[in-house]
Amino acid sequence: MAPECSFVPVKQLPDSDQTREIQEAFKNAFGNASAEFYVRVPGRVNLIGEHIDYCGYPVCPMALDQHILLAVLTTNDNTLVLHNTDPKFKDFECNLENFEICIGEGKPEWYQYFLCGVKGVLECKEEPTSDNSPVGMKVVVSGNIPHSAGLSSSSALVSAAALATARANKRKFTKEKLAEVCATCERYIGTQGGGMDQAIAFLAEEDAALWFTRPFSKQQSSNGDYV
């Protein structure tokens, strides 16, 4: 068994305006219900090596304070219900036992990024469960990562969805495995990245940038700080 530091930590939910807003949005969306747990995944900025990770070259990203935040309630059915606090993104609902990610002309819909993370975890064969029936979820999605700004808002959403699905289905992945799953499953919508966005989402260190190489590794500087 991997050491506990290898897994995504569970922390106390901070008392903030965004927290209160998503709690209120959840009650409004789902009949005064309360979320069971919350998931937070940061955006990122890349300091060295833009668009070269998928060519096998090293990169140096760091996580941002801006993030995707999910409020999640598990249900006894197999239904996924998504509500976004941004009104320009429409609600979505599907059966988790039978769904497809079909990209039409133009850009993918916002919820299709979420479905990538769900699909990646549910189809991961390395973490079997006693019950193959997926757990339903009611989810409110919030976030303050600027869209289309090169700060990895879409990858953060995929990663948040994967982490929420793993938690709901009681499947425990290491941070490195989650990053690998998310990098792979994002290809369901045609994104052929090199895994940098997903790696920094799960492996970021506070007040530090990380140097990632392929095959995957993260390196420390000689003084002990990540660079």
- Please tell me whether residue 83 adopts helix, strand or coil conformation: strand
How far is residue 108's CA from residue 94's CA, in Å, rounded to a whole number? 16
Cα separations (Å) of 46 from 72, 146, 156, 176, 197?
30, 15, 14, 19, 9
On whether the CB atoms of residues 165 and 121 are closer than 8 A, the answer is yes
HSE toward the beta carbon, residue 112, CA cutoff 13 A: 15
How far is residue 77's CA from residue 80's CA, in Å, rounded to a whole number? 9
On whether the CB atoms of residues 185 and 154 are closer than 8 A, the answer is no
Helix ranges (H only) for the chain are 17-29, 110-122, 153-168, 175-185, 196-203
Which tokens hold the place of 215? 């095959």
Considering the candidates 17, 53, 91, 197, report the single residue annotated as catalytic. Answer: 197
Q: Respond yes or no: is residue 197 known to be catalytic.
A: yes
Q: Hey, which residues are catalytic here?
A: 197
